[in-house]
Amino acid sequence: MAATIIDGKALAAKVRAEVADEVAELGHVGLATVLVGDDPASHVYINSKQKMATAAGIEAHDHRLPGDMSQDDLLAFIAELNADDSIDGLLVQLPLPDHIEEHTIIEAIDPAKDIDGIHPYNAGRLMMGRPTLVPATPRGIMRMLEEYEIELQGANAVVIGRSNIVGKPVALLLLQKDATVTICHSKTQDLAALAAQADILVAAIGRAKFVTGAMVKPGACVIDVGINRLPDGTLAGDVDYAAAREVAGWITPVPGGVGPMTIAMLLENCLKAANESAA
């Protein structure tokens, strides 16, 4: 039997509507996005974050800065936004140009405004099991698992990918829900065999159709984080969707799965930051 499709698009619309209601109740929520340089994909991401934030009633400030600006100038700009009481959430789009040190910039963001959840303070809180602002993609994944009532306690969860923004935080969140978590990466041996034991399989690799149908345990829940552009211009996930959906119990499509949830949870993080600052 084919898998149940986890409809991230519909769930994201529901989350965004909830956020919009709460923003209206709170009166004012401010977001600042900062994009340095000309990376085309980054401009597309920022466009949709801006659009969704505005639609939710968030006052969204869109800062697009020249790719040759100095690191010191960027740090000074971030300091201004940190000090601005009308800004609740501050997001610096990655990647940054090569001459700017990513870690230095991330650490300069006020942790209370860090709606990407990547400042070491927020990452550390997550590691300690006391999460504050948590990266949006992992939160979106957990929200989908909750909505579809996927059993996590005692489940075997395998996460492929160990990035700071997806792989590691989602592994920690699954661990907090009492799953037994294995993190796989580019040096993992027998990855296919490990994946085939997973009740929950999260693919966050960035390689189209990396996860084959044979790597999916019958009845498993497959979460596909990957967004890969194929030579014909279409998008593909990290999972061979057509093959995996015949084996899995649940599966997220690409597009329409994790992607829309990421932006919805980012808005929820912005609201959370605003609520904390109002408290």
Query: Is 106 a binder of ligand NAD (CB under 6 A)?
Result: no
Question: CB atoms < 10 A from the CB of 131, how many?
Answer: 18
Region of 25-33, 48-56, 114-122, 163-171 interacting with ligand NAD (CB under 6 A): 163-171
- What is the DSSP code string of 45-79? HHHHHHHHHHHTT-EEEEEEE-TT--HHHHHHHHH
Binding pattern to ligand NAD, positions 176-195, x when CB under 6 A?
A: --------xxx-x--x----
To the nearest whole angstrom, how small is the minimum distance from the Cβ of residue 261 to ligand NAD?
7
Q: How far apart are CA 173 and CA 171, in angstroms?
A: 6
Residue from 89, 111, 161, 169 binding ligand NAD (CB under 6 A)? 161
| Spatial CB neighbours of 6, under 8 Å, sequence gap ≥ 6 | 144, 147, 148, 221, 223, 250, 251, 252, 253, 257
Would you count residue 228 as binding ligand NAD (CB under 6 A)? Answer: yes
Least distance in angstroms from the C-beta of 271 to ligand NAD: 19
Q: 3-class secondary structure for 241-279?
A: HHHHCCCCCEECCCCCCHHHHHHHHHHHHHHHHHHHHHC
| 23 in contact with ligand NAD (CB under 6 A) | no
**Separation CA 140–CA 261 (nearest Å):** 5
What's the min distance (Å) between Cβ of 262 and ligand NAD?
A: 3
- Should residue 9 be labelled a site residue for ligand NAD when binding is judged by CB under 6 A? no
Residues annotated as catalytic are 49, 93, 116
Which one of residues 137, 142, 194, 249 is an interface residue with ligand NAD (CB under 6 A)? 137
Chain residues in the site for ligand NAD (CB under 6 A): 137, 160-163, 165-167, 184-186, 188, 191, 204-207, 225-228, 258-259, 262
